[in-house]
Amino acid sequence: MNGKEDVWDKVEAFRREHLVGSLQHLPVDVFSLVELRLGLDVIPFDDLFAKYDSDAAITQDFTGIYVDTEAYVFWEKGPVWKQNRLRFSVAHELGHYILHREAATRARFDSFDDFARWTRSHGGQKYNLEQAANEFAGRLLVPVERLQQFYDEFAVQFDVKLPHWRSYEGVRSAFADSVATKFGVNAQVIEVRLDREGIWLAT
């Protein structure tokens, strides 16, 4: 279900259709994307993170996205790592919206709790569902061409200064830290993308 290449195809089709004009800029403005381009409601949900271990969750009818009230209120004022986590969480829910809406809509849920149980059990496929949504979010927020560009620029500089830099411990993490802010994600997301895209595999 939703192999990597299939998810990538859907991300790039989504990008071509919806990330236009100012939405092409980094970091991706997920709330403008959700509300203005897709017409989905953003609904504050008290203690969403405490109850469901997530900053965001798609509604059971796929017409909106619940967002943890505290995270949403402090979206522009909170610490950067929380902003990054919320951005990724919203992008993850967009992944469910694009990849899994059809199957979930057929199931018809009476409540959010019913929907949450479905996403946890879904025929034993929770891992696949969540991995696909994570892959969608990562590729959406970190366009491969831009990541490759930053890597190439980094490589050119270090090839001159430190010829065997790729084998040095900590250099890959330092690169991830240095570019994460450009994409509005945490450094771990960059390291995952480096692996998934085959740009710089972990050793």
Q: Does position 12 have pLDDT exceeding 90, yes or no?
A: yes
More confident position, 153 or 167: 153
To the nearest whole number, what is the mean pLDDT of the chain?
A: 89
Strand, coil or helix: 67: strand
Work out the average pLDDT over 176-203: 95
Give CA–CA dist 45/25, Å, rounded: 28
Q: What is the pTM of this model?
A: 0.90
Q: Looking at the structure, do residues 55 and 151 belong to the same domain, yes or no?
A: no
The model's pLDDT over 47-59, given as tens digits with 9 standing for 90+, comes to: 999 988 899 999 8
Q: Looking at the structure, do residues 168 and 76 belong to the same domain, yes or no?
A: no
Give CA–CA dist 56/89, Å, rounded: 6
Q: Looking at the structure, do residues 128 and 173 belong to the same domain, yes or no?
A: no
pLDDT for 123: 46
Q: Looking at the structure, do residues 94 and 50 belong to the same domain, yes or no?
A: yes
> Which residues lie below 8 Å from residue 9, measured CB to CB, with a gap of 6+?
none
Give CA–CA dist 100/115, Å, rounded: 12
89: domain range?
4-141
Q: Does position 18 have pLDDT exceeding 90, yes or no?
A: yes
Quick one: what percent of the chain has pLDDT higher than 70? 89
Q: Does 202 reside within a domain?
A: no
Pick from 81, 84, 43: nearest CA to 61: 43
Strands annotated E in the chain: 41-45, 56-58, 64-68
Q: Looking at the structure, do residues 162 and 134 belong to the same domain, yes or no?
A: no
Q: Does 173 reside within a domain?
A: yes
Q: Does 153 reside within a domain?
A: yes
